[in-house]
Amino acid sequence: MTIDATGQEVPETSETLDHGTASHKEEAVYIYEAPVRIWHWVNALCILVLGITGYFIGSPPPSIGGEASSSFLFGWIRYLHFAAGYILTVAFLFRIYWAFVGNKHAKQIFLPPVWRGSFWRELFHEVEWYAMIVREPLKYAGHNPLATLVMHVLFVWCIVFMILTGFALYGEGTGMGSWQYEMFSSWIIPLFGQSQDVHTWHHLGLWVIVCFVIIHVYAAVREDIMSRQSIMSSMFSGWRTFRDDKPVADE
Amino acid sequence: MHETFYDVMRRQGITRRSFLKFCSLTAAALGLGPSFAPKIAEAMETKPRIPVLWLHGLECTCCSESFIRSAHPLAKDVILSMISLDYDDTIMAAAGHQAEAIIQETIDKYDGNYLLACEGNPPLNQEGMSCIIAGKPYLEQLQHAAAHCKAIISWGSCASWGCVQAARPNPTQAVPIHKAPGMPNNKPIIKVPGCPPIAEVMTAVITYLVTFDRFPELDRQGRPKMFYSQRIHDKCYRRPHFDAGQFVESFDDEGARKGYCLYKVGCKGPTTYNACSTVRWNGGLSFPIQSGHPCFGCSEDGFWDKGGFYDRLTDIKGFGVESNADKIGGAAALVVGAAAATHAAASAVKRARHKGGDE
């Protein structure tokens, strides 16, 4: 028991016992600013549209009959793909901009601190948590190190790859002289060999993103249930809430 | 004084009227305005014929076969006379030592002023023994002729990319002309890919070279933009069926009879840069898609190694015989999904135990 300024007895918190510092009671932290949340859901929707239409561009739906002039099915599929691709690209560029002007959490997925030993130690701890070796994960306001790394590699770089190859393929349609062709197709297509190779790699990229989505959604649900902080609701509200009062590892 | 092109034509009995017709048709084929027809005529009347050495490496001679069928007015006769085709072992009258002597003669006489037209490519394995010409590896002949030429034309997919002899696993290690070792790096190379290239494209490239004394504008990979800047798909007359979603599903279905898009039976038109859908073949008569067969992309680099000609998705090597992006990706997604499900189940068990033990 300790006595506070007013002379009343207060129960000792775990913090004062563990660390000998002043009580550090944290109800919630504002993590995801509104632009980041809007970007997340716009991006998710674009990926959904791009994934489905992209799959159909590779393997078109069954042929339809009638006059060619009376339908534009494949045209619409491709249109949706291109439109969603543009929105995704603009949103992604905005997201990069926000990494500079937003709060410190907005930078996280772009710059995992791989030069820090603690990053790798905590990442290993997180791996142990997923391997069910340790009983408890560390507590984070932002992403945990494992999540940061997966986001950085499987999401950020994959999206960059998809935007580059996507525009290279799109530039083939807009033709030589168009900015899409000059900026993307003109060097990316020879880099891969030929157009068909770029198609194949772009197609493989789709499946990397599908795998990422599976991992991302599963991990979010699991963390929401089992970790020490909120996950799913945070991407709607922006606030991270915690289940215990212990200090967070990344504050 | 060398003979000019015009002299040669007249000598061969071509009237001036036919000659002028040819000039205007050539101008049109090159996409030039009507004012260029007299320019072409003037060039042909004044410029001496460019000597050409036409060498054959590993190849099937389809480029020559295509070339001699150029249906351009008079091209069959005229173009072969326009250039001074000093050496072309397939069609020349001379043979043996006599023929081979012409190469050296041309090199001595026109050092730095002749065109080197390469059909086929050199194999490098076994010291080039897979292609022997006059007792020596073709590579040596190529290097020697290239060192003294003015410019190099890579005819067809063999010379441009490697084609079938360079297809996996490429046992003779055939390499395209621009990748052959010991080639001078100051000689410009123009690639005219295709298996074979369209006859009119070949004659037009030569006409352009002769008329303007320089290469036409090339793309980043060295192909003339005037013929290789658009895909077959961009000018395909079946394109409306593609946009409508009307596809041939198999070669005996209703769609095939109605001339629907061949995308689903493997058409590589959307990834192939060539002029087939505009210039067409055999004097503009037809081209593969018009006769109901998908384009298989013969003018693209490595087209033999992209899986079946009748599959839309490319085979990916290293993952078994029949795998494409969908099969690999689908399998990966299944593994990840199954891993997530297993992990979820294990997590649930752990959580239940943890709670049971703690509380």
Q: Are B169 and B135 in contact (CB under 8 A)?
A: no
Instruction: Give me the pLDDT at residue A62, please.
Output: 92
Instruction: Name which of B140-149, B167-176, B297-306, B323-332 the model is least confident about.
Output: B323-332
What are B91-132's pLDDT values in tens digits?
Answer: 888 888 889 999 999 999 989 889 999 999 999 999 999 999
- Residue B72 — very low, low, confident or very high, per pLDDT cuts 50/70/90? low
Average pLDDT over residues B237-241: 95
Q: What is the pTM of this model?
A: 0.83
- Residue B280 neighbours by CB distance under 10 Å: 17
CA distance B179 to B146: 13
Cβ of B329 under 8 Å from any chain A Cβ?
A: yes
Crossing angle between the packed helical segments A34-58 and A195-226, to the nearest 10 degrees: 130
CA distance A128 to A130: 5
CATH of B232-305, one of 3.40.50.620, 3.40.50.720, 3.40.630.30, 4.10.480.10: 4.10.480.10
Whose tokens are 């990069």? That residue is A96
**B residues 175-214 lying closer than 8 A (beta carbon) to A:** none
Q: Which of B94, B92, B72 is nearest to B84 (CA)?
A: B92
Instruction: Name which of A158-162, A196-200, B349-353 the model is least confident about.
Output: B349-353
**B residues 296-315 lying closer than 8 A (beta carbon) to A:** 297, 300-303, 306, 312-314
CA distance B276 to B201: 10
CA distance A195 to B143: 31
Which H or E element spans position B132? strand B132-133
CA distance B23 to B343: 75
What is the residue-averaged pLDDT of chain B? Answer: 88
Cβ of B264 under 8 Å from any chain A Cβ?
A: yes
Instruction: Give me the pLDDT at residue A3, please.
Output: 43
Residue B161's contacts (CB-CB under 8 Å, 6 or more residues apart) are B176, B193, B300, B301, B302
**Residues carrying CATH 3.40.50.700, chain B:** 5-228
Cβ of B223 under 8 Å from any chain A Cβ?
A: no
| DSSP summary character for residue A242 | B
Tell me the domains of chain A and their CATH numbers.
30-241 (1.20.950.20)
What are A49-89's pLDDT values in tens digits?
Answer: 999 999 999 999 999 888 888 999 999 999 999 999 999 99
Looking from the CA of B216 toward its CB, the CA atoms found within 13 Å total 24
Instruction: Name which of A90-99, A179-188, A198-207, B15-24 the model is least confident about.
Output: B15-24
Q: Check residues A153 and A241 and name the one with the higher pLDDT.
A: A153
Q: Which residues of A touch B351 (CB under 8 A)?
A: 225-226
CA distance B203 to B72: 8
Residue A71 to residue B245, Cβ atoms within 8 A: yes
Instruction: Give me the pLDDT at residue A21, please.
Output: 46
**Chain A residue nearest residue B334, CA to CA:** A211
Cβ of B359 under 8 Å from any chain A Cβ?
A: no
C-alpha A72: how far from chain center: 34
Residue A176 to residue B316, Cβ atoms within 8 A: no
When computed from its CA atoms, the radius of gyration of chain A, rounded to whole angstroms, is: 24
Read off φ and ψ for residue A87, nearest 5 degrees.
-65, -45
- Which residue of B227, B314, B351, B355 is the best one to mutate when testing the A interface, meaning the one whose CB has the most A CBs within 10 A? B314
Across B121-157, b (16+ Cβ under 10 Å) vs e yields bbbbeeebebbebeeebbbbbbbebbbbbbbbbbbbb
Size (chain B), residues: 359
**Tokens representing A83?**
């439109």
- Residue A206 neighbours by CB distance under 10 Å: 23
Q: Check residues B76 and A121 and name the one with the higher pLDDT.
A: A121
Cβ of B250 under 8 Å from any chain A Cβ?
A: no
C-alpha B90: how far from chain center: 20
CA distance B335 to B61: 49
CA distance B113 to B97: 24
Instruction: Give me the pLDDT at residue A240, please.
Output: 87
**B residues 61-120 lying closer than 8 A (beta carbon) to A:** none
Instruction: Name which of B152-166, B235-249, B257-271, B315-329 the model is least confident about.
Output: B315-329
Residue B350 to residue A132, Cβ atoms within 8 A: yes
Instruction: Give me the pLDDT at residue A208, please.
Output: 95
CA distance B266 to A60: 12
Q: Which residues of A touch B243 (CB under 8 A)?
A: 68, 72, 74-75
Instruction: Give me the pLDDT at residue A174, please.
Output: 92
Size (chain A), residues: 251
Q: Which of B254, B263, B255, B311 is nearest to B289 (CA)?
A: B263
Residue A74 to residue B243, Cβ atoms within 8 A: yes
Instruction: Give me the pLDDT at residue A14, please.
Output: 41
Q: Are B159 and B118 in contact (CB under 8 A)?
A: yes
Cβ of B325 under 8 Å from any chain A Cβ?
A: yes
CA distance B278 to B274: 9
Whose tokens are 């050539």? That residue is B26
- For chains A and B, CB pairs below 8 A equal 141
What are B248-304's pLDDT values in tens digits?
Answer: 999 999 999 999 999 999 999 999 999 999 999 988 899 999 999 999 999 999 999
- Residue B79 — very low, low, confident or very high, per pLDDT cuts 50/70/90? low
Q: Which residues of A touch B344 (CB under 8 A)?
A: 218, 222
Q: Which of B243, B220, B300 is nearest to B268 (CA)?
A: B300
Average pLDDT over residues B199-206: 87
Q: Is omega for the bond preceding B176 within 30 degrees of 0, making it cis?
A: no
Whose tokens are 């050296």? That residue is B104
Q: Are A178 and A171 in contact (CB under 8 A)?
A: yes
**Residues carrying CATH 4.10.480.10, chain B:** 232-305
- Does position A189 have pLDDT exceeding 50, yes or no? yes
Instruction: Give me the pLDDT at residue A20, please.
Output: 41
Burial class (CB within 10 angstroms; exposed 0-12, middle 13-18, buried 19+) of B185:
exposed
Q: Are B350 and A135 in contact (CB under 8 A)?
A: no
- Residue B306 neighbours by CB distance under 10 Å: 25
**Chain B residue nearest residue A222, CA to CA:** B344
- Residue of B244, B313, B340 lying closest to A215 (CB–CB): B340
The separation between the first and the last C-alpha atoms of chain B, rounded to the nearest angstrom, is 108
- Does position B320 have pLDDT exceeding 80, yes or no? no
Residue A190 to residue B231, Cβ atoms within 8 A: no
Q: What is the CATH number assigned to the segment(s) B5-228? A: 3.40.50.700
What is the residue-averaged pLDDT of chain A? Answer: 86
Q: Cα distance from B277 to chain A (closest Cα, Å)? A: 15
- Residue A25 — very low, low, confident or very high, per pLDDT cuts 50/70/90? low
Q: Which residues of A touch B219 (CB under 8 A)?
A: 176, 186
Burial class (CB within 10 angstroms; exposed 0-12, middle 13-18, buried 19+) of A229:
buried
Q: Check residues A236 and B174 and name the one with the higher pLDDT.
A: B174
| DSSP summary character for residue B137 | E
Instruction: Give me the pLDDT at residue B326, please.
Output: 86
